[in-house]
Chains A and B, each alone.
Chain A
Amino acid sequence: MKIIRKTALILAILLPALAQASETLTIRIGFIAYHPDQGPVLSNLIPEPKDRGFKGAELGIKDNNTTGRFLKQKFNLASELAESPEQVSSIAQGWLDQGIKLLVADLPATQLTQLVDLATKHGAAVFNAGSYANELRSKQCLKNTLHTLPSRAMLTDALAQWANAKRLSDWLIIRGDTPEDIAYADSLKRSSKRFGINVIEEKTWDFDTDLRRTAQKELPLFTQTAEYDLVVVADERGDFGEYVQYNTWYPRPVAGTQGLTPVAWHRVVEQWGAAQLQSRFEKLSSRWMNDKDYAAWAAVRSIGEAVTQTRSDSPEELFSFITSDKFQLAGFKGRKLNYRLWSGQLRQPIPMVHPKSLVSQPPLEGFLHPVTELDTLGFDKPESQCQVSFSN
């Protein structure tokens, strides 16, 4: 078989619009992550991939470069996994000194805030692809920052919207006692108010038995409360939550961090061309794409789109294009995505999944909004004190 592959770089010369762009524009992006120790858990977890986020950023770079090839734009990725919180700053400082001013971060809220402080001083832009913290979208407003990972509020609003549509309006909330679990439970309560859900009781799981042996005994009793329609679990690291399903006092569905789960991304999302993104990702990394991978990919692709349209490498110009009404990202979620001009949050539908299928993808029909139904999920303009801004 005769195969001739032709990479037509000469063609750029023929492009009248690009005639002046004789030199290749190089865009450098830094992806930084820190994975704090989650502590021991009861269930034997399927371990989270170490390269979570990294592979998403890498795929974003590949996608950008395939496009960039036709426009004489080259995207490079620097990526580092910090071993400690302190290392986050030193890595970032090093990059900023080298002029890498487009940063994508999979960091806890505290480290993210430190990174943003540093980045703002250098006129760099930051994409949050790692923290779900509601505060970052409502009260603790970060300059120069956009969020591609949904907030917890977007996830729990999706769940509450779905529960409302299904008339599962009485909830039993059970949560763990880590700060993340408390934050998730708080977010659930906020969502319950927005969507007319009645929380009949909130319980904290603080037992220390080994549930692998005694789940059948402990959980029915633990969930013996006034009657509920849905048990909602707030256990982000998957400590006890994996044992709730099929062990509740009343035979009711389980949702939240376990059971039916609202997510940013999951293998089961395959409509709207997502099958292609999934298969490109799998080819690159021999595993499934998860929420952090998707957020990192969306951040790098947002930069790519802005570079394609503006032909600029200035963080300020790119940031301003991304937060303009001209920006749109094809994010494989069934409609164009763009950013909220208050919180800098990427608007996006939230898939609700269980391990082998997509159950629903809020926003659901019938939940109306004067601007876009996507803003029925998460902090809407009046609920947020933030305003997107960029400083040099």
Chain B
Amino acid sequence: MKTVKSTLKPLAAAVLSGALLSTPAWAETAYVSNEKDDTLSIIDLDTMEVTATLDVGERPRGIIFNRDRTKLYICASDSDTVQIMDLKDHTIIGELPSGEDPEQFALHPDDRRLYIANEDDALVTVVDTVTFEVLAQVDVGVEPEGMAVSPDGKWALSTSETTNMVHWIDTETHELVDNTLVDQRPRHVEFNQQGDIVWVSAEIGGTVSVIDVDSRQITRKLTFNIKGIHPDKVQPVGVKLTDDGRYAFVALGPANHIAVVDAKTYEVLDYLLVGRRVWHMDFNSDQSMLLTTNGISGDVSVIDIDDMKVIKSIKVGRYPWGVRIKP
């Protein structure tokens, strides 16, 4: 790999790499959006320390990489834009016309079309990240939040928090073709690796619905029960599935726990105590580690998946929302 670094002395490279240049290839880097600080925290996963804090647009929430992970898209909700950060030098190189109040988004497998949920406007905006053109705006339910595109690129799914539905958008026509009613306040939608099953969390309903993609019907509904915590406080938000199809992790919000679910039998295997109000998660590249954003405690918990234990918590900014890990 030929980069600027190679021409520098090792010491200087080490000093500079965290702050200015791209991180070394051997270290994985986590990006965390801090909703109430208008910043991103960058965590070096070797040292488990925050190496830099970058100013971004107002109220950053959803964050996502492009396919080769050279760019990071950032929903700057209160700036009503999606910012594009160049990960080489962490500069903002562009802003996409996202529509108002973008919260979550999903990138189509074509690495081009970005599906953005506009929470205040009950819309999903589809933006071409190459031409910066708005390709379509699709009317959905009140407070759209969760967004996902199926691995085959055929479906874009949006969940609306007050309408309590999963909306099925055909990515060819950008027409809304079906709705699946789920429990109260659906927050997040996640496809499995094969793309035949989708998991949908309902924060106030306290459930995760498992939906069959072919029939678009709910086949299974998971509930969670943690000793000593009132069921009303068990509020599922983020869902992550391991690529091997073994585990599902569900972030349970103010219950301050992550549920570990057997993704084949749907049995809840364990509850892991993390920081306060846990929302979103991401895996490192070999999926041996899971990071969670804990809004109220303002930190990130690190879970070792082999041991199924929380091994570390790392202080970040105020109200961390999203997390993405770059190899």
Contact = CB atoms under 8 A, between A and B. Distances in A.
Contacts of A10: 175
A276 B135 contact: no
Contact of B206 (A67, A273, A301, A336): A336
Contacts of B160: 66-67
Given A1-B134, A70-B165, A15 B178 contact: yes
B139 interface: yes
Nearest to A65: B142
Interface stretch (B13-21, B179-187, B244-252, B260-268): B179-187
Nearest to A10: B175
A11 B178 contact: yes
A155 to B, nearest CB: 21
B134 A2 contact: yes
Given A63-B162, A67-B142, A335-B233, A11 B177 contact: yes
A8 B178 CA distance: 9
A283 interface: yes
B97 A6 contact: no
B122 interface: yes
B205 A6 contact: no
Contacts of B133: 1-2
B138 A6 contact: yes
B161 interface: yes
Nearest to B161: A273
A4 interface: yes
Contacts of A15: 178-179
A239 to B, nearest CB: 38
B89 interface: no
B232 A335 contact: yes
Contacts of A336: 184, 204-206, 232
25 contacts: A2-B133, A6-B138, A7-B139, A8-B138, A8-B175, A8-B177, A14-B177, A15-B178, A67-B142, A67-B163, A70-B176, A71-B179, A276-B119, A276-B143, A280-B142, A283-B120, A301-B162, A328-B183, A329-B184, A330-B162, A330-B164, A330-B185, A336-B205, A336-B206, A372-B232
Interface of B: 97, 101, 119-120, 122-123, 133-139, 141-143, 160-165, 167, 174-179, 181, 183-185, 203-206, 230, 232-233, 235, 254
Given A6-B138, A8-B139, A334-B254, 10 more contacts: A4-B135, A6-B175, A11-B176, A15-B178, A63-B142, A67-B142, A276-B161, A329-B184, A330-B204, A336-B204
Interface of A: 1-8, 10-11, 14-15, 63, 66-67, 69-71, 273, 276, 279-280, 283, 301, 308, 328-330, 334-336, 372-373
